[in-house]
Amino acid sequence: MSDSTSVLDRKGLGVTSRHDTWWLSPLLVFLGLVAFGVYSTWAAWQGTNYLYTGHGADYLSPFYSPDVHSLLGIDVPFSYAFLILWIPLGFRATCYYYRKSYYRAFFLSPAACAVGEPAGRKYKGETAFPFILQNIHRYFWYLATIVVAFLWYDAIRAFFFTGKAGNIHFGVGLGTLIMLFNVIALTGFSFGCNSLRHLVGGKLDCFSCSATARARYKLWGGVTILNLRHMEWAWVSLFSVGFTDLYIRLCAMGIWHDVRIIH
């Protein structure tokens, strides 16, 4: 007989019989989200170097889009990023994928499957404040879609450069491609949203019962295709939005030089 230790009756943080590296995934998620959180907070506080206009380019950081200052002509005593960032922050914070990620990585609830949680917590899930607010995810999707529309506008604008004579001409810089990649990633993430999947058709019980239902079935199928890779879209878009800001910021600071691919 071996030792009498068993986890059958024991509970508590980390109690498990798993032999694999169950802690690795939540650790990577923790590090990834903390890294993005630290960088995005720092970038948002800066309030400068979010627009690169060197050599006729027109690159706007996604952290500062839409450009509220230019659009509305208003001045605020803090960084303009704070007028924008609560929308994507709220969208990601209430996203079903991110919920899974941070419940595991930050709240250890649970850190991994069949792994014990911190003892003594009264668990209420998403039935009480603050997590009951996760139910407004669809409203953040509506707002985030407006932001994504502005990012498409920014990406298209990045294809047009101002010449020395003041003329506008088509061109492609490395920044253009980065901004385009970023907005595609953000669109893939936003339009694979579980709430959207429900709203466009998932709520129906019958997909064949009317012409509208049949059209909504097709939309539901399209969102489902993106939704199957929602986690991948979430991470790719998170890092692409951070890197896009970094690229534009370093170009604006003169540290990096935008490579022009098509003049």
Partner 1 sequence: MSTRLFKVWRGDKTGGQLVDYTVDVQDGMVVLDAIHQIQREQAHDLACRWNCKAAKCGSCSAEVNGKPRLMCKTRLDDFVEGQTITVQPMKAFPLIRDLVTDVSWNYTVNKKIPPFTPKPDTNWLMQQRDVDRSQEFRKCIECFLCQNVCHVLREHDLEDKFFGPRFLVRVASLEMHPLDSLDRTALLKDEGGIGLCNITKCCTEVCPEEIHITDNAIIPLKERVVDKYYDPIRIALRVLTGGGKK
Would you tell me which residues interact with partner 1 (CB under 8 A)?
1-8, 11, 16-20, 96, 99-100, 103-104, 109-110, 113-114, 116-117, 123-127, 131-132, 135-136, 138, 194-195, 197-199, 202-203, 205-209, 217, 227
| 162, β-bridge pairs | 168
Q: Which is nearer to partner 1, 57 or 200 (CB)?
A: 200
Contact 214, 207 (CB under 8 A): yes
How far apart are CB 27 and partner 1 at their closest, in Å?
16
User: Which of 71-81 are b and which e, b meaning 16 or more Cβ less than 10 Å from the residue's Cβ?
Assistant: eeeeeeeebbb
The DSSP code for 258 is P
Q: Which is nearer to partner 1, 9 or 75 (CB)?
A: 9
Quickly list H helices, the chain.
24-46, 68-72, 81-84, 86-94, 96-105, 137-157, 174-190, 194-197, 211-227, 230-252
How far apart are CB 143 and partner 1 at their closest, in Å?
14
**Residue 234, CA atoms < 13 Å, CB-side half-sphere:** 24
How far apart are CB 233 and partner 1 at their closest, in Å?
14
How far apart are CB 219 and partner 1 at their closest, in Å?
13
How far apart are CB 38 and partner 1 at their closest, in Å?
25
Q: Which is nearer to partner 1, 47 or 222 (CB)?
A: 222
Q: Which is nearer to partner 1, 96 or 243 (CB)?
A: 96
Q: Which is nearer to partner 1, 68 or 204 (CB)?
A: 204
The DSSP code for 59 is E
Q: Which is nearer to partner 1, 38 or 136 (CB)?
A: 136
How far apart are CB 162 and partner 1 at their closest, in Å?
43
Q: Tell me which residue has tokens 């889009």.
A: 65
262: helix, coil or strand? strand
